[in-house]
Chain A
């Protein structure tokens, strides 16, 4: 019962709240959704204390462990991006420097979680979800960066700088994977990393195939429903009086002579 309330109900609140907050058009459900998502997230974070007896609490521990560097990266990139050439609400130069520092600390923090003593351990072994998280992040980051390299080349004009940058990011992710597969870390040896990397590839491929099938069937359901709808009633043609009225409105807006 305790696990249901503090973990599964919290997870459901997080998912439903996020969807409501993002997709609802009215203000009240959006606020309720945001509050529910926050409560769910905090409850998940607290599971190492509220559900210390359950193996599921390792997931809450992982979320707490990666929250710090993730927030640093997100806020850091925001600071760097919006201190650039934006027309409204531009941040200062100091904000950009602070953003760069936050990104560097975030990256170093993540690296230290694999290569130094900051590896999430729960309660005494390496957190099993960290072993899934780290290779998945590297592999998906590599795939996204190479995809973004091609996308920038296709969609942009003279975007060589961005293409080079995406190449650097993808090489960075690749180098981290190769290093992990060839050198032992203090807590995760290279054999374990290789196994987890291959399993992460299976996970990612499975998630993508499942998601694609769900989206395809979603479109099919909506399309079938829309096709069964009757044609909308055809309106009668406008009367002469309505046409005259429309002409008067158009003439009024197209004139412009009085303002000159």
Chain B
């Protein structure tokens, strides 16, 4: 690791990951005529769904990891409460008029549609990771090992 503070490195990595994509999206936004309201609805729906589903997955992870700690109940109950609250919050926001509703007839249909869209996003992100990670790994493993030559004494 090169000399740099961890915070500065983290900021640098985050900027390199987010900034080019953000600039591209802003440029496309600038030249096109998009609906900001539709994008906002998609953002809020994706955020609520992601929060609920990731909390649920972490609850399962907590349960499977519990073997090492004599399966303590308190954190599992805590995460269960968190999942319940996030489901309740999502349903509450979805039922507040048409704010978060897209082309779905009912709150239930919208909620299920959000979950399927989350699955599609995860699938797409996984394939991109295969391409980027695979290219990087293939290059790293195909680099000849460095040989250190010592001068003859």
Q: Which of A11, A170, A194 contacts B28 (CB 8 A)?
A: A194
Q: Are B50 and A210 in contact (CB under 8 A)?
A: yes
Interface presence of A112 (CB below 8 A)? no
State whether B34 touches A211 (Cβ < 8 A). no
Cβ of A98 < 8 Å from any Cβ of B?
Answer: no
Q: Please tell me if the beta carbons of B58 and A218 are within 8 angstroms of each other in the complex.
A: yes
B135 at the interface (CB under 8 A from A): yes
Q: Which residues does chain A contribute within 8 Å of B52, judged by CB atoms?
A: 210
User: What A residues does B29 contact at CB under 8 A?
Assistant: 198
Asked if A166 and B132 make an inter-chain contact with CB atoms under 8 angstroms apart, the answer reads yes
- A140 with B128: in contact, given A181-B28, A210-B51 (CB under 8 Å)? yes
Contact of A221 among B24, B28, B68, B78 (CB under 8 A): B78
| Mask of B125-152 contacts with A, CB within 8 angstroms, 1/0 | 1011111111111111111110000000
Q: B85 — nearest CB in chain A belongs to which residue?
A: A217
Assess the A70–B130 pair: CB atoms within 8 A: yes
Given contacts A16-B60, A147-B16, A221-B75, contact A70 B127 (CB under 8 A): yes
A19 at the B interface (CB under 8 A): yes
Residues 39-64 of A at the B interface (beta carbon under 8 Å): 56, 59, 62-63
Judging by beta carbons under 8 Å apart, are A207 and B20 in contact?
Answer: no
Closest to B45 in A: A206
The reply to whether A202 and B46 form a contact with Cβ atoms under 8 Å apart is: yes
| Cβ contact within 8 Å between B144 and A85 | yes
Is A203 within 8 A of B46, CB to CB?
yes
B120 touches A154 (CB 8 A): no
| Docked pose: A20 CA to B143 CA in angstroms | 36
Question: Does B7 sit within 8 A of A, measured CB to CB?
Answer: no
Which residue on chain B has the smallest CB distance to residue A228? Answer: B74
Complex contact B130–A197 (CB within 8 A): no
Please name the residue on chain B nearest to A55 by beta carbon: B113
CA distance A225 to B78 in the complex (A): 9
Q: Which of A190-210 contact B (CB under 8 A)?
A: 191, 194-195, 197-210
CB pair A84 B142 closer than 8 Å: yes
**CB within 8 Å for A143 and B9 given contacts A81-B134, A210-B47:** no
Chain A interface SS verdict (over half) = helix
Interface size class of A (residues with CB under 8 A): 35 or more
Bound-complex Cα distance A80 to B131 (A): 12
Is residue A245 within 8 Å, beta carbon to beta carbon, of the partner chain? no
Q: Any chain A CB within 8 A of the CB of B96?
A: no
- B84 interfacial by beta-carbon distance below 8 Å: no
Q: Which of B16, B55, B124, B129 contacts A146 (CB 8 A)?
A: B16
Picked from B24, B42, B145, the residue with its CB within 8 Å of the CB of A142 is: B24
A-contact 0/1 string along B91-124, CB 8 Å cutoff: 0000000000000000000001001111111111
Given A132-B120, A152-B136, A202-B46, A215 and B61 contact (CB-CB distance below 8 Å): no
A161 to B118, CA, bound (A): 35
List the B residue with the shortest CB-CB distance to A154.
B9
A-side contacts of B118, CB under 8 Å: 207
A150, CB-defined interface residue at 8 Å? yes
- Tell me the bound Cα distance from A213 to B57 in angstroms: 13
A139 to B124 Cα, complex, angstroms: 10
Chain B 15-33 residues near chain A, CB threshold 8 A: 15-21, 24-25, 28-29, 32
The 4 A-B residue pairs whose C-beta atoms are closest, nearest first, are A77-B134, A206-B46, A210-B50, A147-B17
Identify 12 new A-B residue pairs, CB closer than 8 A, beyond the known A59-B120, A134-B124, A162-B136: A73-B134, A81-B137, A82-B141, A86-B141, A136-B120, A141-B132, A150-B17, A198-B39, A207-B121, A208-B50, A214-B86, A217-B82
